[in-house]
Amino acid sequence: MPLSAVRTVAKAQNGVGAFILQCKRLDFHYCDWAGSSRGMKAFIKTSLPKFANQHPQIEITVSPRPRKHPVIIGHYINGRTKAVCVRNMTNEGVREKAKLLRDASGERLKRANKPVTSLNESVRGIWSPFHGARVKV
């Protein structure tokens, strides 16, 4: 065989072509009795229907969790979860946290110390001493 081929799998580029929101489920837990859930309950009553309507791609579950602080748990496509405790927060505060969980990718937080991360090779290539203008010593 003069030529054979390497078997690989094409890599996904989310957002090139289709974009898939990484947050697939949000669980809202509250307590009917405790005061720390006041903001959460207000959010569930007033803002959650609109939030759910705006994000049909997120499955939303609401369930009581008695004698516990209110919490929002996000489930992500990569299999990880993220939980945010929203005790004593107002309606707006809970909404901000829900948006934060919606926008998260589910990955651990990482420091991005390179300006560009790309699958493509650099167009200019690696610098070579043999090409371009010669340096006279």
Partner 1 sequence: MKRIRISRCGTRFPLLLALPRPTCRYTAIHRNTTPHNHRIQTRLQSGVAFADSYSSGPPSTEISPLTKTPLEALPSPHPSPAATSAKLSALRARLSLPPRFPLQTLARALIHPSADSNPAFNNASLSILGSNLLGYYTTEHLLCNYPRLPMSVVFAAQYAYIGPKALTTIASEWGIEAAAEPGGEVDPGLLQFKRLRSGDSLPDVLQNRKPRKWNITTTHKILTSDEFGSAMQRKEAQESQAQPVPLEEAAQSFVRALIGSLHLHLGRPFVKRFYRDHFLSRHLDIDKLFDFRTPTRDLSRLCAREGFEAPVARLISETGRRSRHPVFVVGVFSGKDQLGEGSGASLDEARVRAAAAALKGWYLYKPLEVTVPSSMEGEIDQSKWKPNVVDCGEVIV
By the 8 A CB rule, do 55 and 102 touch? yes
SS3 43: helix
* Position 12 contacts partner 1 (CB under 8 A): yes
* Position 6 contacts partner 1 (CB under 8 A): yes
Residues 6 or more apart in contact with residue 94 via CB below 8 angstroms: 39, 40, 42, 43, 47, 70, 72, 86
Of 5, 112, 123, 137, the one binding partner 1 (CB under 8 A) is 5
**Closest approach of partner 1 to the CB of residue 135, in Å:** 13
Of 35, 115, 129, 132, the one binding partner 1 (CB under 8 A) is 129
Of 35, 56, 115, 132, the one binding partner 1 (CB under 8 A) is 56
* Position 122 contacts partner 1 (CB under 8 A): no
Of 35, 57, 115, 117, the one binding partner 1 (CB under 8 A) is 57
For 107-131, give the DSSP string.
SPP----SS---SSPPSS-S--TTS
By the 8 A CB rule, do 21 and 69 touch? no
Of 113, 117, 122, 128, the one binding partner 1 (CB under 8 A) is 128
SS3 1: coil
Give the interface with partner 1 as residue ranges (CB under 8 A). Answer: 1-14, 16-18, 20-21, 24-25, 56-61, 77, 119-120, 128-130
